[in-house]
Structure 1
């Protein structure tokens, strides 16, 4: 595994932010070591991650006023041939100015001196779970739509990554896959073996570096043993269970993988209950468990980044807690670097 993703306890965050002020959201993203282009669904429904991923996808029925995103099989059949004819056109897979208020402004910045920059795209499993057809059936279960969806999302990821790499050679993307936590539920209707095959097919088409972000609790062996360069996760919530996967974590790090430890909560109540020492203690407790189980300390620190635990769109103080969480991430990373990298 060859990765240009920085470790050494640098900071980043998830792209989804609660802001309605585009300038302020971009300022916050740029306050971290590895900035990203924010996605702002409270500013516009076009900024919703599923909506952004659906741009130019055949069969999509979008109603911005009603804030609904659906799928029509009949419309898909009508539009599929045209979509396939334009599959080599990068503009079909890029993000238009209509669908993002920030993307093109971010790309216009001088970002060459940053250790890396990052983008984020909704992943095919979660997209397929959440987009329903005219029969209220997830399109993930449609054997005609699903293969096209995997190819389409891989192409979209590569086009956006190429745009980012033109601004910084160490650019990388998160594939946001909250739906992976449901794969191992009997209610999912789509098993882990099928998902593994589909994700292998998907990532085989995706340029490196490549990785997954999710806030839920999936089968960590499943993820850690995939051919990924980066795994971004909510360790604040999932610390106990994640620390039990030392063997797979060690293998992931041995391959050169980077773990983004989401440790600072962005929800108002959880954030109010914590301070910097308590969050550092929570993270170091997980680390110590892993070190005691044979994970190499220096290797893990070198392959670690720090981030908020999750995104959060609804807080009683609107954007304030999220902004305070970003600041806490920077302070925490600074203290940890002084302790482990000095």
Structure 2
């Protein structure tokens, strides 16, 4: 697995605060080495992390006025046709109403060929724990619906890879798993590590079997050993606030690097800390943290197998803050090339 890109190439996580999909795509294409399509949840609740991927789910309900999405069994048989359609190589389209940024991105790219582009999908744990039934219970705790959510996401992964491959030699798909930072807490008792790893590994494998490079993004603390065991090619983490939690996994990181894995360093904050962040301070922080890993792991691998990203998506920030984040990304890359 190789991206064939310079060390410390840049990409983003997904969400942005902008209103116009075409303008957002142009800014992203001009800013990042690895362009990505923008998730634009401020346009519609249908572009939120759960609703965006819920179309095609058996028994799915949307209430656009209340900005709700949930599952409610109604006595009809919606499972049989789903199982008949959702085979191991099924493709399920992501509509423009659910992902305006994705469709604008593919139109902008057109026949242009880039070395790599990036897509994303809500990860299987975050999706199954975030999508609830009419009683407010996560569908994760319904064994059949949990498996259906995994099948649904995999079908949409395959379709997305096919679309993005038209514009790039290599396609990267990140599985966004913000829920990982809460696994093990009292809110998610009954979520077993073995099942977490299985679901994640299944989605990672779906990306890879489709011919793409799989990444897993978590913007908080996580069981990073589990993430690496799931077979991901790229581990995306918040290097600004949570570097120390990853640096503890020296042995796992060594094995990860040896099999060609890449770290996506989320070094530019997307929290309120962006207000006080400046280019020099963030670049200095990146250098210190890379140097720290180099003291414990092979330096060539640490430096060669690295990407630079924001710590998370920028959908919760203002447009001005997002533009600042993008500027700092470029500055950090320049600093790491010196």
TM-score by length of 2: 0.91
Per-residue deviation, 1:25: 1.4
Q: Decide whether the 8 Å contact of 1:184 with 1:219 is kept in 2.
A: no
1:259 alignment partner in structure 2: 263
Correspondence list, 1:189-208, <5 A: 189-206=190-207, 207=209, 208=212
Q: Decide whether the 8 Å contact of 1:5 with 1:170 is kept in 2.
A: no
**Which secondary structure state, in structure 1, belongs to the residue aligned with residue 166 of structure 2?**
helix
In 1: Cα distance, 2:232 partner to 2:92 partner: 22
User: Which moves more between the two structures, 206-215 or 52-61?
Assistant: 206-215
Question: Could you tell me which of 313, 316, 323 is aligned with 1:314?
Answer: 316
> Do the aligned partners of residues 172 and 248 (structure 1) sit closer, same or farther apart at CA in structure 2, a change above 3 Å counting?
same
1:216 paired to 2:220: yes
Unaligned runs of 5+ in 1: none
User: Which moves more between the two structures, 118-127 or 43-52?
Assistant: 43-52
Q: Decide whether the 8 Å contact of 1:5 with 1:258 is kept in 2.
A: no
Q: Decide whether the 8 Å contact of 2:237 with 2:264 is kept in 1.
A: yes
Q: Decide whether the 8 Å contact of 1:7 with 1:258 is kept in 2.
A: no
> Do the aligned partners of residues 258 and 140 (structure 1) sit closer, same or farther apart at CA in structure 2, a change above 3 Å counting?
same
Per-residue deviation, 1:211: 1.7
2:238 alignment partner in structure 1: 234
Q: Spell out, residue by residue over 1:16-71, the C-alpha distance to the aligned partner (whole angstroms, 9 max, x if none).
A: 11111223311222121111111101112222121111111111111122111111
User: Cα RMSD over matched residues?
Assistant: 2.1
2:122 alignment partner in structure 1: 122
User: Which moves more between the two structures, 205-214 or 250-259?
Assistant: 205-214
Per-residue deviation, 1:292: 1.4
Unaligned runs of 5+ in 2: none
1:289 alignment partner in structure 2: 292
Per-residue deviation, 1:139: 0.4
In 1: Cα distance, 2:231 partner to 2:186 partner: 26
2:15 alignment partner in structure 1: 16
In 2: Cα distance, 1:5 partner to 1:228 partner: 18
> Do the aligned partners of residues 149 and 94 (structure 1) sit closer, same or farther apart at CA in structure 2, a change above 3 Å counting?
same
Q: Spell out, residue by residue over 1:190-235, the C-alpha distance to the aligned partner (whole angstroms, 9 max, x if none).
A: 0212212232334333324212112121111111232111111111
Q: For this pair of structures, how many residues does the alignment match?
A: 332
In 2: Cα distance, 1:23 partner to 1:105 partner: 6
In 2: Cα distance, 1:218 partner to 1:126 partner: 13
Per-residue deviation, 1:142: 0.6
Q: Decide whether the 8 Å contact of 1:184 with 1:218 is kept in 2.
A: no
Q: Decide whether the 8 Å contact of 1:10 with 1:306 is kept in 2.
A: yes
**Which secondary structure state, in structure 2, belongs to the residue aligned with residue 170 of structure 1?**
strand
In 2: Cα distance, 1:89 partner to 1:217 partner: 32
1:302 alignment partner in structure 2: 304
> Do the aligned partners of residues 265 and 5 (structure 1) sit closer, same or farther apart at CA in structure 2, a change above 3 Å counting?
farther
